[in-house]
Amino acid sequence: MAARHPSVRGAASARPEFVQAVGRAVDHYNAGRWRAAETEARLALGFAPADPSALNVVAGVAMQEGRTAEALALFQRALAGQPKNPFIQFNLGEAHRRAHALAKALPYFERAAALKPDFAEAFAFAAEALRGLGRGQAAEQRYQTALRLSPRLPVALNGYGLLLLRRGEPSRAGPLFATALDGMPPSHPMAPGLWSNLGVARLQLGQGLEGLEDLARAVDLSPQTPGLWRLLASSLRHTKVAPSGEMFRSVLLQLFDHDDVNPRNLATATLAVLRQDAEIDRLLHAIEARPADIARIIAEDGAVAARLVQDPLFLALLEAAPIPSIAVELLMVRLRADLLAAAVEAPEALDDELALAARLARQAFLNEYAYFVSPDEHRGVEQLGKLLDRDDLGRRPGDAVRIAILAAYRPLSTTPHAARLLRDLVPAIADLVREQVAEPALERELRAGLAVLKAATDLISVAVQRQYEESPYPRWTRCGVGTPLAFADAVRIALPHLGEGQAPEVERPRVLIAGCGTGLETMRVANTYKDASILAVDLSGASLGYAMRKTQEYGLANVEHLQADILDLPVLTERFDLIDSFGVLHHMADPAAGLQVLSDLLKPGGLLFIGLYSELGRQGVVEARAHIAARGYPATPEGVRDLRHDLMVRPRSPELETVLSPASDFWTTSDCRDLVFHVNEHRFTLPQVGQLLDDAGLEFLGLQFGHAADRTRFLAEHPALGAIQDLTALHRHELNHPEVFGDTYRIWARRSRHRRRR
Ligand SMILES: C[S@@+](CC[C@H](N)C(=O)[O-])C[C@H]1O[C@@H](n2cnc3c(N)ncnc32)[C@H](O)[C@@H]1O
């Protein structure tokens, strides 16, 4: 918003040179020619040093150029000369707003509006300030006035829309964004934000395809704005649909290049885009329907398969994230076997395959070698290992591709060549060696310095620890990064229904992550709460080593790691503002005992965020566990591999379908082990959750919905005030929609201030 300018009326009695200079200054300013505007305004100030119009222009230029303190001082001088000038009042408000001082900005906007009751921008900016200060009702009134005065004012339409979105009214918000966009040129500075907000509204209304297209358009218009691409990437998570067309495909491909995007969130969208090619879709369908015929299907449709594996989008996904598709996995298993056979018997046929083999090896490492290996391949891998065990390794043609193919079967860190590979990097496989050799070595080194509270003694804890030492969960590469918010603001986003003053205002929240795993959870916490200092605890040293490497890689300075059993944490003397424990308590022998420990570690009024398995949401897993028990698959990486393969290629009961869905934890070894082979799991219904919380002296605050549209649906079906915080209503809702919370409830609770002792 450019600064607004008083007319030069009133200066009529002054010298003509002065009047002309001010006139030119204002003209230059309004045309965005800041330098020229300032020169003319300073010329005018030479005649009349306190002239408010000229001061206003100089101040406006200072504000545009980011010299906010100077702008404020100049606007103040201008205002002293013309205290009743609404434009100078407005500009002072704007200068304060740009300095992030909303409370100071507000009275100036309000005075500007009072001085000039048809000044739509003044009402709109007063509303913006009020919204930023959390005063929604007053903001709404000002937005309405602004829009009465100027029905298409973008800043008012956008701000009011955001207010309504925050209040859970996407059906009213969407049309406001759409009106603002109607006829707006794409180059307008507000266009990307408006498209993005329209996308959010549509997603909340369940209009997935349109919403994603809007978010992508925002990124396309402003590809340098991290907030826009981050929002699109996180909104793509588990999507079943993807817009068609070149724009979306190209934006999606760009998302793979960003370090602050979790590529796992892009997987289903990428598959959906690839399947927009009718022949590729047919090929994948054929493999899914007749997995035993895969050799014939590929032979008949070789050109289509080749097109798929050469597609840049496919290649980006292949090296970045586990691919949640049965057909693609079977295709990759086949491709890998063919590459292995050639590597052993006819390496000269592999000349052009290095890039693909290296990507396939990265895929295999990411999915933790979850792909099926036939007895022939086992023999081939042994042979290949021997062929590569030479002193001049890495210097002969074909070595790199053979190493890549070996790395597609087992991590290079387990081969005797590893140390030599590190010393003598082959450039084409540098990423592979980094991921498979250097990074695991760093984890071991970091782990050596890990603080250990004491060794776990509880029998279940010991068994759980063993599982995660073998299969640290989850393996991840890059994660979404956001702008952390003040604690209370972040809590209000998670729980929009909390009333004003309900979220604790804590400047530097002290957070305990109980069961941090491999650090993804830690990243989420650090990216959510500004200035949080974190104690991240886990049973598993291997998981903590991974977590330490990743937090170091992301430069998190405010995290300490500790190896401990939650059951042993009562020795801690400090108390926490927030305890975050996602997917952990349900693996303890007695989750209630674990919850009590955590509850006792909270400050009075402190918050707890826990993830607990849902009995209703996990029925597919219950079936799978029965299937595993009946057929005796061992809970080892080999058992995981065999089960996965059998489920993919043999007829399976419909109850098992959810376990193999793209959104399920089926697609890597540690995920799948965690999902269906866990040594110990409890599941809960929401009434049971209520009882657990109550017993631990905790007050239920609400559930976080996975998708915005699910929350909208709940509110539509349960309009009664307070339903969103009512476990009985939420339970009824889950009975009607068993998939609504996925397989894990995301539960918020607060330590009651006055609680009875158990
Ligand atoms: C499913 S993983 C979840 C990891 C992480 N919270 C996340 O969501 O990415 C469960 C983690 O809890 C840890 N864990 C399980 N029982 C624990 C206990 N009694 N004390 C501490 N950590 C425990 C495991 O070692 C494992 O890393």
611-667 confidence digits (pLDDT tens): 999 999 999 999 999 999 999 999 999 999 999 999 999 989 898 999 999 999 999
Cα 466 to ligand 1 centre (Å)? 12
Helices (H), 182-321: 191-204, 208-221, 226-235, 246-255, 267-274, 278-289, 294-300, 302-310, 312-320
Q: Report the alpha-carbon distance of residue 232 to residue 203 in Å, rounded.
A: 11
| Cα(33) to centroid(ligand 1), Å | 59
Q: Which residues contact 134 (CB under 8 A, 6 or more apart)?
A: 500
- 608 φ/ψ angles, rounded to the nearest 5 degrees: -125, 135
Q: Which atom of ligand 1 is nearest to the CA of 582?
A: 6
Measured from the Cα of 543, ligand 1's closest atom is 27
Region 493-516 average pLDDT: 90
pLDDT of amino acid 493: 86
Q: What CA–CA distance (Å, rounded) separates 535 from 126?
A: 41
d(CA 83, CA 90): 11
* Beta strand ranges found along 586-673 (DSSP E): 602-613
H helix runs in 495-540, sequence order: 520-528
So what's the pLDDT on residue 499? Answer: 75
Which pair of structure tokens corresponds to residue 65? 């150029």
Amino acid residing at 24? R
- Closest ligand 1 atom, CA of 566? 20
**Distance, first Cα to last Cα, the chain:** 59
Report the atom number in ligand 1 closest to the C-alpha of 465: 25
Atom number, ligand 1, closest to the C-alpha of residue 674: 1
CA of 440 to the centre of ligand 1 (A): 20
Separation of 656 CA from ligand 1 center, angstroms? 25
Atom of ligand 1 nearest to the CA of 473: 2
At 119 the pLDDT is 97
| Model pLDDT, residue 368 | 96
pLDDT digits (tens, 9 = 90+) for 443-483: 999 999 999 999 999 999 999 999 999 999 999 999 988 88
Tokens encoding 497:
């229904």
Distance 587 CA to ligand 1 centre (A): 8
- Tell the residue number behind the tokens 């053979």, with chain if given: 402
Residue nearest to atom 1 of ligand 1 (CA): 583
- Bridge-partner residues for 529, per DSSP? 485
Averaged pLDDT score across all residues of the chain: 93
Give CA–CA dist 630/389, Å, rounded. Answer: 42
Task: Give 695-714 pLDDT, tens digit per residue.
Answer: 999 999 999 998 888 988 99
* Ligand 1 pocket list (CB less than 6 A): 461, 464, 468, 473-474, 515-517, 520-521, 537-540, 543, 565-567, 582-584, 587-588, 674
Give me ligand 1 centre to Cα 475, in Å. Answer: 13
CA–centroid distance, residue 586 to ligand 1 (Å): 9
According to DSSP, the β-strands at 602-613 and 576-582 are parallel
Q: How far is the CA of 705 from the centre of ligand 1 (A)?
A: 22
Residue 461 CA, closest ligand 1 atom number: 19
Q: How far is the CA of 625 from the centre of ligand 1 (A)?
A: 20
Q: How confident is the model at residue 449, as a pLDDT?
A: 95
pLDDT at 708: 81
Residue nearest to atom 14 of ligand 1 (CA): 515
In 3D space, the residue among 511, 493, 527 whose CA is nearest the CA of residue 577 turns out to be: 511
- Residue 680 tokens read as 């110990």
Q: What percent of the chain has pLDDT over 90?
A: 83
**What is the CA(584)–ligand 1 centre distance, in A?**
5
What is the tens place of the pLDDT at every residue in 303-347? 999 999 999 999 999 999 999 999 999 999 999 999 999 999 887
Looking at the CA of residue 540, tell me the nearest atom of ligand 1: 25
Q: Which residues have C-beta within 8 Å of that of residue 567, sequence separation ≥ 6?
A: 456, 458, 461, 588, 593, 594, 597
| 9: confidence class by pLDDT, cuts 50, 70, 90 | very low
In angstroms, the CA 326 to CA 693 distance is 40
Specify the pairing of strand 559-563 against strand 602-613.
Answer: unpaired
Residue 161 has pLDDT above 60, yes or no: yes
Domains and CATH numbers, the chain: 16-225 (1.25.40.10), 311-445 (no CATH), 619-676 (no CATH), 686-751 (no CATH)
Once rounded to an integer, what is the mean pLDDT over residues 386-391?
83
Q: Quick: pLDDT tens for 533-554.
A: 999 999 999 999 999 999 999 9
pLDDT at 757: 52
Contact 514, 579 (CB under 8 A): yes
Among 461, 524, 538, name the best residue to mutate to test ligand 1's pocket (greatest count of ligand atoms within 8 A of Cβ).
538
Across 389-398, 723-732, 739-748, least confident range: 389-398
Distance in Å, CA 468 to ligand 1 centroid: 8
Instruction: Reply yes or no on whether the pLDDT at 253 is more than 50.
Output: yes
* pLDDT band at residue 428 using 50, 70 and 90 as cut-offs: confident
Enter the tokens of residue 523.
């990243």
pLDDT at 10 over 50: no
- Nearest-atom number in ligand 1 for the CA of 565 is 20
Nearest to 468 by CA among 197, 669, 221: 669
How far CA 163 is from CA of 106, 484, 565, 704, in Å, comes to: 17, 20, 44, 20
Select from 453, 470, 584, 676 the residue to mutate for testing ligand 1; criterion: most ligand atoms less than 8 Å from CB.
Answer: 584
C-alpha span between 150 and 143 (Å, rounded): 10
Q: Whose CA is nearest to atom 13 of ligand 1?
A: 515
Indicate the burial class of 753 (C-beta count within 10 angstroms; 0-12, 13-18, 19 or more).
Answer: exposed
Element (H, E) at 674: helix 669-676
**Whether residue 756 has pLDDT greater than 80:** no
As a whole number of angstroms, the distance between CA 374 and CA 334 comes to 10
Quick: pLDDT tens for 556-589: 999 999 999 999 999 999 999 999 999 999 999 9
- Shortest-distance Cα residue to atom 26 of ligand 1: 517
Give the 3-state secondary structure of residue 119: coil
Instruction: Answer whether residue 12 shows pLDDT above 60.
Output: no
Q: How far is CA 237 from CA 190, 516, 722, in A?
A: 26, 21, 29
Return the ligand 1 atom nearest residue 580 CA.
6
What pLDDT, on the 0 to 100 scale, is given for residue 388? 85
- Ligand 1 centre to CA of 483 (Å) is 26
* Residue 393 to residue 416: CA distance in whole angstroms: 11
Rounded to a whole number, what is the largest CA-CA distance in the chain?
100
Grouping H, G, I as helix, E, B as strand and the rest as coil, residue 500 is: coil
Confirm if 708 and 667 have CB atoms less than 8 A apart. no
**4 pLDDT above the threshold of 70:** no
Judge whether 734 and 675 are in contact, CB under 8 Å. Answer: no
CB atoms within 10 A of CB 385: 17
Classify residue 485 by its DSSP letter.
B
Average pLDDT over every residue of 423-451: 89
- What is the average pLDDT across 39-47? 93
Rounded distance from Cα 29 to ligand 1 centre (Å):
59
Question: Could you tell me the sign of the dihedral formed by the alpha carbons of 325, 328, 331, 335, in that order?
Answer: negative
Atom of ligand 1 minimally distant from the CA of 513: 6
Query: Ligand 1 mean position to 658 CA, how many Å?
Result: 23
Q: Which residues contact 414 (CB under 8 A, 6 or more apart)?
A: none
